[in-house]
Homo-oligomer: A and B are copies of this chain.
Amino acid sequence: MIQKIDHLGIAVKSLDESILYYEKSLGLKCEHVEEVESQKVRTAFFDVGGTHIELLEPTSPESPIAKFLEKNGEGIHHIAFKTDDITGQLKQASDSGVKLIHETPFEGAGDKLVAFLHPKSTHGVLTEFCACKA
């Protein structure tokens, strides 16, 4: 079952400038900054009433975020739903005709299991399921 929106991933060109915007203009507080080498991004997290905003800055032109920025510019990249049963959630989506980017979950940031659905079958929203490891 989906429990909540875990986080929103937002693609940005400069993490430092964007952190400044979220802190100064919105009054939110950056909790921590982390580099995720496997995804070639540097990330910054803000807790907004239990849902996180995750800013994503590419660290290489090969980063998926660099490609997103090139095509779309800065903006919301994905939405992540927290679930207590990621395998069941993937099966439900797949059974109903959704194309999966990942058939099986893999280890993402923050020691979570994650998997993505393809935006072509989710009405344009790149969608992630994430779950705490058992």
Q: Is A48's CB under 8 angstroms from B10's CB?
A: no
* Residue A113 interfacial (CB < 8 Å): no
Contact of A81 among B21, B26, B82, B97 (CB under 8 A): B26
Query: How close is A43's CB to chain B, nearest CB, in angstroms?
Result: 14
Total residues of chain A contacting the partner, CB 8 A: 43
Among A1-22, those with CB < 8 Å from B are: 1-5, 8, 10-13, 17-18, 21
Query: How close is A66's CB to chain B, nearest CB, in angstroms?
Result: 15
Query: How close is A81's CB to chain B, nearest CB, in angstroms?
Result: 7
Taking A79-B8, A123-B10 as contacts, is the C-beta distance between A27 and B48 under 8 angstroms? no
Contacts of A48 in B (CB 8 A): 2, 4-5, 81
